[in-house]
């Protein structure tokens, strides 16, 4: 399935959370690694202007729809998908990891956040093994020497599922790097997901999430950083809408 950046096509190839869990369960049982990205409008803005980000995204095995606009665009194109944000994948994937006895690792955020998130998740998921918690330095280079050292540490710790809380594009670039150099590791990019679990950041109230207004909650709480980001997202929507309609007509699903 499609979602297009200006210069490259990125495919949402996982229709929803259940399909992702089924796919990762198969990867765990086979002993295979993977990289999972969660596509949103901010990523699409970056994909249009950052070649390294596009290249890293293209090397991911699985891409889910993270954000209502991506879901709506797919529906408009006649190929519906279900919302699967990275932050909402953490708990079900930890349950899967515990069931399959797969060691889990965290990379990103701060050590305080990682420790608190580990404490909460092990309390919620009996049998969950968290084998590594690594908070990279400021200015972390996802392709540099520190990244290589972290990957070696993850491998030595026995990690099989690695949650990346580095933010885009660093987490996707690190996942692509690790996918190539350590093919038995699995990476899932989750953005601020561990910060939410640790209570370091507050998610929008459930009623705002149900009416697709989480972006407004986030912007009101951090307008200087997120205002320009969301403006850039709104600017690409007309072109994406036109592309979705074109694809719908091309598939003969214009009803």
User: What is the rounded average pLDDT for all residues in the chain?
Assistant: 92
Q: Is the pLDDT of residue 200 over 90?
A: no
Two structure tokens written together for 232: 């850039």
- Given a cut of 60, whether residue 5 has pLDDT beyond it is no
pTM recorded for the entire structure: 0.92
Instruction: Give the tokens for residue 54.
Output: 């596009």
User: At 221, is the pLDDT very low, low, confident or very high (cuts 50, 70, 90)?
Assistant: confident
- φ, ψ dihedrals at 75, nearest 5°: -60, -40
Fill in the DSSP letter of residue 179: H
Rounded mean pLDDT of 58-81? 93
The b/e string for 199-209 (b: 16+ C-beta within 10 A; e otherwise) is eebebbeeeeb
Is 191 in contact with 167 (CB distance < 8 Å)?
Answer: yes
Q: Calculate what percentage of the chain has a pLDDT beyond 70.
A: 95
Phi, psi of 84 (to 5 degrees): -145, 75
97-109, pLDDT tens digit by residue?
A: 999 999 999 999 9
């Amino acid at each position: 399935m499609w979602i297009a950046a200006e210069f490259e096509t990125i495919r949402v190839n996982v229709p929803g959370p259940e399909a992702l869990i089924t796919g990762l369960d198969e990867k765990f049982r086979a002993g295979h690694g993977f990289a999972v990205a969660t596509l949103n409008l901010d990523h699409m803005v970056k994909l249009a202007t950052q070649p390294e980000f596009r290249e890293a995204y293209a090397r991911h095995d699985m891409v889910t729809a993270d954000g209502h606009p991506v879901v709506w665009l797919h529906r408009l194109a006649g190929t519906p998908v279900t919302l699967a944000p990275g932050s909402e994948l953490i708990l079900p994937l930890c349950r899967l990891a515990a069931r399959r006895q797969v060691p889990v690792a965290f990379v990103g955020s701060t050590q305080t956040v990682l420790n608190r998130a580990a404490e909460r998740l092990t309390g919620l998921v009996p049998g969950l093994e968290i084998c590594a918690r690594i908070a990279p330095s400021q200015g972390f280079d996802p392709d540099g020497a520190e990244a290589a050292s972290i990957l070696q540490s993850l491998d030595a710790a026995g990690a099989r599922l690695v949650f990346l809380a580095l933010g885009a594009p660093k987490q996707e670039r690190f996942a692509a790097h690790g996918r190539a150099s350590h093919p038995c590791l699995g990476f899932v990019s989750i953005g601020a997901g561990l910060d939410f679990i640790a209570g370091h950041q507050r998610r929008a109230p459930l009623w705002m999430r149900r009416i697709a207004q989480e972006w407004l909650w986030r912007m009101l709480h951090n307008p200087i950083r997120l205002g320009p980001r969301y403006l850039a997202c709104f600017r690409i929507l007309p072109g994406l809408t036109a592309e979705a309609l074109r694809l719908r007509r091309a598939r003969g699903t214009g009803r």
